[in-house]
Amino acid sequence: MSSNLRPIGVFDSGVGGITAVKEIHDLMPGEDIIYFGDVGRVPYGNKSSDIILKYASQDISFLKSLGVKMIIAACGTVSSIINIQSLNKDLPFIGVINSACIAAINSTKNKKIGVIGTETTIKSNSYSKCIKSINKEAQVYQKACQVFVSLIENDISSLPYDIVYGIVKENLSYFNEFNIDVLILGCTHYPIIEPIISEVMGPEVKLINSGKEAVKYAESVLKNQNLKSSGTFGGKCSFFVSAGAKTFFETASRFLGYNVVGNAREVNIGLY
């Protein structure tokens, strides 16, 4: 198959990376996608670096076995601990940290930037280091919100709005005293609850969707390497998961606006 007709590979620990899939559909509607969600081993964000590296390398081997032309680690946790440069050898490999930090620096007026992510992401300081390498005057305030991942993986829509709003508000109250004007959603799960985060933070705080920024960057890489599909519509996404998960299919279908169930298969990721 000609290089630019091959699909883009996208992976995450679970349903979070579908926020990047949505952006690919919107920005590059002619691109086919293969999505792998490691639902059987979610969450990644409270696991050790060694385990996350092992899981990520299996996820990557699986996507490569299907002949993808690019891989997007649509996962803040994996992007925080993996050496992206070292993976950029046989095909372009994109993480979510750099492009989100650039967007945050371009958006902030007061140089006070908040970051939310998983426990591992926040402990790694990946976003903070990257922001300061772009602008050392920026002040970065970080808060791990691992609980948001569990809420989203366990079908947030089944919980009363007030309960979810209360949990989000309590976690984000950390930022009250810092006067941030930008908040990076440093975990790809979080755009699924973006309306609630936005309501809690208020209109003066701009939210940066890390998956969306990564997809914009991915488009520029595909163009530069002559890998972009010439198609302008009709791109399809095939879904693979490491365990059957009703919630994954429901959340993904709701977020993407089409039914993913008939288009999903289970894979034994331990074999990769």
Is residue 145 part of the annotated active site? The answer reads no
Output the smallest distance, CB 75 to ligand DGL, in A: 4
- Label each residue of the chain as H, E or C: CCHHHCCEEEEECCCCCHHHHHHHHHHCCCCCEEEEECHHHCCCCCCCHHHHHHHHHHHHHHHHHCCCCEEEECCHHHHHHCCHHHHCCCCCEECCHHHHHHHHHHHCCCCEEEEEECHHHHHHCHHHHHHHHHCCCCEEEEEECHHHHHHHHCCHHHCCHHHHHHHHHHHHHHHCCCCCCEEEECCCCHHHHHHHHHHHHCCCCEEEEHHHHHHHHHHHHHHHCCCCCCCCCCCCEEEEECCCCHHHHHHHHHHHCCCCHHHEEECCHHHC
Output the smallest distance, CB 135 to ligand DGL, in A: 23
Please identify, using beta-carbon distances, which residue of 42 and 269 lies nearer to ligand DGL.
Answer: 42
The active-site residue, picked from 75, 101, 130, 145, is 75
Residues forming contacts to ligand DGL in the complex (CB under 6 A) are 12-14, 16, 42-45, 75-77, 117-118, 121, 149, 187-189
The active-site residue, picked from 130, 145, 187, 237, is 187
Is residue 187 part of the annotated active site? The answer reads yes
Output the smallest distance, CB 238 to ligand DGL, in A: 20
Output the smallest distance, CB 74 to ligand DGL, in A: 7
Report, as residue numbers or ranges, the catalytic residues: 75, 187
